[in-house]
Amino acid sequence: MTPIFDRFLYGGDWNPEQWDEQTWRRDIEMLKDAHINEATINVFSWASLQPDEETYDFTTLDRIVKLLVDNGMSIVLATSTGALPAWLVRTHPEVIKTDIDGRRHVFGGRHNACPNSPVFRRLARALASKLAERYAGTPGLAAWHVSNEYGEMCYCAQCAQSFREWLRSKYGTLEALNRAWYSNFWGHTILDWADIVPPVDYGDGIGTDKAVISGLYMDYRRFQSQSMLACYTNERDAIRAFDVDTPITTNLMGTFKNLDYFEWGRELDVVSWDNYPGMDTPPSFTAMVHDLMRGVGGNKPFMLMEQTPNQQNWFPFCKVKRPGEVRKLSWQAVAHGADTVQFFQMRQSIGGCERFHGAVIGHDGTEDSRTFREIAALGDELDRVGADLMGGEIDAQVAIMFDWSSYWSLEGCVGPTQGLRYPDEVHRFYRVFHERNIAVDMIPSTTDAATLARYRMVVAPALIQVLPGVADAVTEYVRGGGTFVTGYMAGIHNEHDLVVPGGYPGELRRLMGVWVEEIDALAPGETVPVMPVAAPQVVDGGRDLARHYGTVTGEQDGTAWSGVIVASLMHLEGARPLAVYGGDAFYAGSPAVTVNEVGDGRAYYVGAPLDEVGMGAVLGVVADGLGLESTVAGDGVEIMRRRHEDGSVDVYVINLEDRAVRASLASYAGARDRLTGNGVSAGGIVELPAYGVMILES
Ligand code: GLA
Ligand code: ZN
């Protein structure tokens, strides 16, 4: 598709207001030496732009903008509403958020506005308008960046009032609301709209992440996500009134829980997000989150708005990124659809809590640091090849559903286990495809049947909440020849978080051909053995799990895979078992993984979270049976393809690990590496150094 920007943006957050002007000029010279061509500015400047309610002062920002324009830099211009200025909290104390413990905050921190405060909405809109009026048409203005990392929930009186109105328009009557919430549980019946209060810790909440009435909890989360989105569109619309075409975005945070990003994606001109993997984040998890962010934006290229040029500062332990690691993370983002590489931040602060956060220019202030040199070398590469890579799309034959309702519902359950983290369970399935370099699109659960039909395989991990229409769409997809995979915890709840009566997996029971009668929780460290059934069960393409398992482990029987966290105890209602539980007599022989043939398609149920080998064997055999092309080039080597409109394809080959690896790229023999100009040898064997990257033209 046509790239959204006219060049590959390389840069990120720059906070010149923390420095004198001489330093600004030095920064620009150094940044240009690093091939940086973009600065994200004005992210936290509300206090200086507007010293009181009536006064605006753009003199400093004018000078910053002029310096960037004079130097031919692209600009991502933020609206500065991510942190409240002191005068605003002094004059309108209700503008600041109230936390789940009922503490109204005082001045300080950031991401601290009540999203339903009329004063906040009015003043944020006014500031965005003034900025847009003044800076629309600025040469090099690439994008608007509204606020910063939305996501902090508020529990104040104003939010409570707005929530009541939101509920009134959703349910109409208290009868309907009480029914949806099952509120006669513990006599929580709502008798007057005024009785409704947010699920605070000292009210209906159970800790910060659960509530007695989970319908209330779900609705409050939906309401807060939409309230914050309304803050975004409030500023966006103000900008649009003065600037008709510059893309407007806000920086998202991957699998961040509080915002239903699929709803948000519909309102963003381009998705941008901040990638901060921790020292133990598996590279496949990072890959998944890039795919999720791409999916949120409708599978269009996205912006990598932030990452660190070296260490973070806010993890308990912040590892120095090893040589080549930032480059690898950058190319991995591009491989998954990023059309920008941006950092937080350009110059390291000497004060404030982020002074130990990595930056392009460190405390030494020179170009002599390892970080600076690596950023400059990456900049050089992007300068050479970046523009040609932009706009490439990813063709995926597998889709994984990521559903914020199920996220909230699963982690909001009181029982049967505290062991399930929704993003980790999605990753448990995703990882199998990643290991095989099978591209995945992340899609909302409410995707219609026609769109599902574009995929050979649709996977719905831990889809505990089946929203209206989802079961029908998935069933139609399977009947028409699709392959659907779900499993443990699926289908238990409706959209109000009420159990669908009549046996799990509720609305999916007919499709899956199983009845899950009981769900056993396993203690931390406890496992239940799961093994493929001995008698050959013909699966797709004549392969069977038992035989495949043999090739995976080198044994025909004996050791089994491990089921962890929860185990579904189920009855077959038309499905065939592919694997059964072992272990004690209670479990032994009962179905653990099943397949049901429905119409022209198949529906697989994975009854327990399996270890890596188990998940790999089960999903792998399904993928193989469908003939999905999998490319395992070498251990820890990721391969992604981005296709351009003219049919050409860039093949990203990335060594995800900090050790050299020999990769076998037989199908790309002779292809040229855009980065070095070298061709892949006839045999297709390449040596990739630690974190090495190749981009093959194909
Ligand atoms: C977030 C914020 C930035 C900065 C970085 C530090 O992504 O958007 O302002 O605080 O974290 O990692
Ligand atoms: Zn509030």
Residue 125: DSSP 8-state: H
What's the rounded Cα separation, in Å, for the pair 592 and 570?
Answer: 8
Ligand 2 center from residue 166 Cα (angstroms): 14
156 in a labelled binding site: yes
Token readout for 371 is 């970080």
What is the mean predicted confidence (pLDDT) over 678-697?
96
Ligand 2 center from residue 193 Cα (angstroms): 18
Q: Could you tell me the pLDDT band of residue 631, with boundaries at 50, 70 and 90?
A: confident
> What's the pLDDT at 545?
63
Region for residue 35 given its phi and psi (left: phi exceeds 0; alpha: psi -120 to 50; beta: otherwise): left
pLDDT of 548 strictly over 80 = no
Q: Where are the beta strands (DSSP E) in 137-247?
A: 141-145, 205-206, 210-211
Q: Could you tell me the pLDDT band of residue 1, with boundaries at 50, 70 and 90?
A: confident
- Is 274 near ligand 1, meaning CB less than 6 Å away? yes
Name the residue at shortest CA distance from atom 7 of ligand 1. 274
pLDDT over 70 percentage in the chain: 96
- Is 306 near ligand 1, meaning CB less than 6 Å away? yes
pLDDT of 145 strictly over 60 = yes
Residue 524: DSSP 8-state: T
On whether the CB atoms of residues 70 and 43 are closer than 8 A, the answer is no
What's the rounded Cα separation, in Å, for the pair 397 and 22?
Answer: 53
Question: Which atom of ligand 1 lies at the shortest distance from residue 313's CA?
Answer: 12
Indicate the helix (H) or strand (E) that contains 65. Answer: helix 59-70
On whether the CB atoms of residues 506 and 468 are closer than 8 A, the answer is no
What is the mean predicted confidence (pLDDT) over 647-667?
96
What is the mean predicted confidence (pLDDT) over 299-316?
97
Catalytic sites, residue numbers: 149, 306
What is the mean predicted confidence (pLDDT) over 571-579?
96
Q: Is the pTM of this model over 0.95?
A: yes
Token readout for 489 is 């915890």
Ligand 1 center from residue 36 Cα (angstroms): 19
- Looking at CATH, the fold of the domain delimited by 9-153+228-389 is given as TIM Barrel (3.20.20)
Would strands 457-459 and 591-598 be described as parallel, antiparallel, or unpaired? unpaired
Q: Could you tell me the pLDDT band of residue 370, with boundaries at 50, 70 and 90?
A: very high
Closest ligand, as measured to the CA of 112? 2
| Residue 568 vs residues 74, 561, 609: alpha-carbon distances, Å | 54, 15, 10
Residues with CB under 5 A from ligand 2 (ion): 114, 154, 156, 158-159
Closest ligand, as measured to the CA of 120? 2
Which one has a higher pLDDT value, 370 or 543? 370
Which residues make beta-bridge pairs with 10? 341
Q: Could you tell me the pLDDT band of residue 176, with boundaries at 50, 70 and 90?
A: very high
Q: Given the structure tokens 């753009």, which residue do they identify?
A: 58
Give the Cβ contact number of residue 35 at 10 Å.
19
- Is 148 near ligand 1, meaning CB less than 6 Å away? yes
Q: In this predicted model, what pLDDT tens digit does every residue of 53-86 receive, in sequence order?
A: 999 999 999 999 999 999 999 999 999 999 999 9
> What's the pLDDT at 544?
60
Q: Could you tell me the pLDDT band of residue 698, with boundaries at 50, 70 and 90?
A: confident
Q: In this predicted model, what pLDDT tens digit does every residue of 590-619 receive, in sequence order?
A: 999 999 999 999 999 999 999 999 999 999
208-237 burial, b at 16+ Cβ within 10 Å, e below that, comes to eebbbbbbbbbbbbbbbbebbbebbebbbe
Residue 34: DSSP 8-state: T
Spatial CA neighbour of 361 closest among 7, 9, 48, 12: 12
pLDDT of 550 strictly over 80 = no
| Residue 539 vs residues 457, 548, 596: alpha-carbon distances, Å | 15, 11, 11
What's the rounded Cα separation, in Å, for the pair 210 and 117?
Answer: 25
Which one of 45, 354, 360 would you pick to mutate in the ligand 1 pocket, going by the greatest count of ligand atoms within 8 A of its CB? 354
Residue 330: DSSP 8-state: H
Residue 183: DSSP 8-state: T
14 in a labelled binding site: no
647-657 burial, b at 16+ Cβ within 10 Å, e below that, comes to eebbbbbbbbb
What's the rounded Cα separation, in Å, for the pair 411 and 185?
Answer: 20
Ligand 2 center from residue 684 Cα (angstroms): 59
* CA torsion angle 537 542 546 552 (round to 10): -160
Task: Say how many Å lie between the first and final Cα of the chain, rounded.
Answer: 18
Token readout for 297 is 């934006």
Work out the mean pLDDT of the chain and round it to a whole number: 95
User: Domain 398-626: what homologous superfamily?
Assistant: Class I glutamine amidotransferase (GATase) domain (3.40.50.880)
Ligand 1 center from residue 72 Cα (angstroms): 25
Q: In this predicted model, what pLDDT tens digit does every residue of 65-74 receive, in sequence order?
A: 999 999 999 9
Token readout for 327 is 């480059």
pLDDT of 667 strictly over 80 = yes
Domain residue ranges in the chain: 9-153+228-389, 157-219, 398-626, 637-697
Q: Could you tell me the pLDDT band of residue 538, with boundaries at 50, 70 and 90?
A: very low
Q: In this predicted model, what pLDDT tens digit does every residue of 490-513 receive, in sequence order?
A: 999 999 999 999 999 999 999 999
* CA torsion angle 616 622 627 631 (round to 10): -10
- Is 357 near ligand 1, meaning CB less than 6 Å away? yes
The set of residues, in sequence order, having a beta carbon less than 8 Å from that of 11 and lying 6+ positions away, is 31, 36, 37, 38, 39, 40, 73, 74, 76, 342, 343, 346
659 in a labelled binding site: no
Name the residue at shortest CA distance from atom 4 of ligand 1. 344
Q: Could you tell me the pLDDT band of residue 552, with boundaries at 50, 70 and 90?
A: very low
Determine the CATH number of domain 637-697.
Answer: 2.60.40.1180
Give the Cβ contact number of residue 569 at 10 Å.
18
What's the rounded Cα separation, in Å, for the pair 199 and 160?
Answer: 10
Q: Could you tell me the pLDDT band of residue 633, with boundaries at 50, 70 and 90?
A: confident
Spatial CA neighbour of 345 closest among 360, 367, 335: 360
- Is 276 near ligand 1, meaning CB less than 6 Å away? yes
> What's the pLDDT at 536?
47
HSE of 5, CA atoms in CB hemisphere, 13 A? 28
110 in a labelled binding site: yes
318 in a labelled binding site: no
Closest ligand, as measured to the CA of 256? 1
pLDDT over 90 percentage in the chain: 94
Residue 355: DSSP 8-state: T
Type of residue numbered 629: E
